[in-house]
Amino acid sequence: MIKPDYSQPVPNNLGKVHFVGIGGSGMSGLARLLLGMGHEVSGSDVRGSDNITALEALGAKITIGHDANNLGNADTVVVTSALWPNNPEYVLAKEKGLPVLHRSAMLAHLASRGKLIAVAGAHGKTTSTGMVVTGLDLLGADPSFVNGGVIQAYGASSAFGTGEHFVIEADESDSSFLHYDTDTVLITNVDPDHLDHFGSLEAFEGEFVKFAEAAKNLVVISSDDPGAVRVRTKLSHPRVLTFGERPDADVRVTSIDASGPKVSFELAYLGEKVALQLIIPGAHNAINAAGAVAVLVGHGFDFVKSAHAVSSFEGTVRRFELHGERRGVKVYDDFAHHPTEVVAALKAARAAVGSGKIITVFQPHLYSRTRIFAQEFADALALSDQVVVMDIYAAREDPEPGVTGALISDRFSDQSKVHYVPLWKDTPAVAAKLAESGDFIMTMGCGDVYKMVPELLEALEQ
């Protein structure tokens, strides 16, 4: 991995900007903003994706595969931590003395035009960011934003608005969220993750303390998540709002009914109450909505109007997203890649599937995360009726001896409901044979498993 270098100043004139790893959710969002500003944008990535197709349609010149020649006549280069130091484009850019900016430095530069609302947490941040953006937009604030996923209502993961607010999904995985000039912090949870980078739970939580303390105006933090509670006790910030189901939460959630395809609940704040129903399912999304509303009221917006605005959020791409139906079987895709996220996604699916079965096709992400959370993944995935475990999507990591998807499947207490299928080409047929009319098949993970959806639909037809 490339360690971020924040000493590199951002040039006054960015010129032609080249993105190394342009297909990632954060990188593609930045590229979209720069294209909208009139910059010439180029980039490269190891594989094609929907993000890349969308950027090419906007005028970006993108090459699949990394090669020094891809750099062309770039004036500024943007990189992500997921790259290796020997990446040929990165090496050439350094040799030529070009400004090489970490994506978080570029994001901080672009976001400096407004009051920055930074959303962080091990999970829930993409949805929560989308909810804050939706709320501000419907309240007439017209925010700018960069999200980690495409917001359904806007068909984009980023956009410039005319208002004073700039909302971003802030990445804690490499501590880059500490380098923003933040007005407001929203912490969805501090569930353990990225321990390969931080080394310990204490260090992980310590970075969230620093992140929160740096907020110039407001900290909004979960009242329910144990990690967030520990972080809250260490804060000396003068302005903190909490949200969740605890009786002492400032924005309190009660009466959650997640038994159907839409979650309903009540929110209470300063003596006012409002009953809501979201368009999307899952008890966890009621909690996410409370966090978004807390941000809005913390910025002076009316509580009831804020709550109704947030409830209009239509979801983000790759969050319980329906892609099609064949012979009565619906095929969904979900980004969940942490045990807590898996539990939340499967509970939402269970409420929606009724008497049908859930067949989860799970692609583990990262060798380190699989090794650390193998048992937790097995326990979470066991909420499915049947599970097909694929091999690991390595992303930025080299293989670890003995660490495969079997590390998860072997830990199922009921081996009759799990199938370890290491080869991609074999997976669609296995999943399709398990499904009957009324069932859901869910691809799950933050790698490229979503690309299997067309093959699953075809396998169901056959």
Active-site residue, from 40, 80, 125, 172:
125
Average pLDDT of the residues in 387-391: 97
12 within domain boundaries:
no
Short-list 218, 177, 216, 214, CA closest to 194: 177
Q: For position 127, what pLDDT does the model report?
A: 94
- According to DSSP, the residues that pair with 145 across neighbouring strands are 159, 167
Active site includes 126?
Answer: yes
pLDDT band at 194 (very low <50, low <70, confident <90, very high): low
Could you give the CA distance from residue 179 to residue 183 in angstroms, rounded to a whole number?
12
9 within domain boundaries:
no
Short-list 119, 128, 97, CA closest to 8: 97
- My answer on whether 342 and 453 are in the same domain is yes
pLDDT for residue 273 is more than 60: yes
Active site includes 169?
Answer: yes
23 φ/ψ sector (left φ>0, alpha ψ -120 to 50, else beta):
alpha
Percent of the chain residues topping a pLDDT of 90:
73
Could you give the CA distance from residue 207 to residue 77 in angstroms, rounded to a whole number?
27
Of 61, 83, 102, the one marking the end of a domain is: 102
pLDDT band at 138 (very low <50, low <70, confident <90, very high): very high
3-state secondary structure of 259: coil
Could you give the CA distance from residue 348 to residue 350 in angstroms, rounded to a whole number?
5
Quick: pLDDT tens for 79-134: 988 788 899 999 999 999 999 999 888 988 888 878 999 999 988 899 999 999 99
Active-site residue, from 169, 172, 207, 376:
169
- According to DSSP, the residues that pair with 219 across neighbouring strands are 185, 240
Q: For position 83, what pLDDT does the model report?
A: 85
- My answer on whether 257 and 117 are in the same domain is yes
Of 44, 73, 102, the one marking the end of a domain is: 102
pLDDT for residue 195 is more than 60: no
Average pLDDT of the residues in 411-425: 97
Active-site residue, from 126, 182, 188, 242:
126
Give the pair of three-digit tokens for residue 74: 């770039």
Quick: pLDDT tens for 55-66: 999 999 999 999
- My answer on whether 333 and 457 are in the same domain is yes
CATH of the domain at 28: 3.40.50.720
Alpha carbon distances (Å) from 461 to 324, 331, 429 = 12, 12, 10
User: Which carries the bigger pLDDT value, residue 179 or residue 327?
Assistant: 327
pLDDT for residue 307 is more than 60: yes
- My answer on whether 232 and 331 are in the same domain is no
- Count of domains observed in the chain: 3
Determine the structural domain holding residue 36 and report its residue range: 17-102
Could you give the CA distance from residue 340 to residue 190 in angstroms, rounded to a whole number?
11
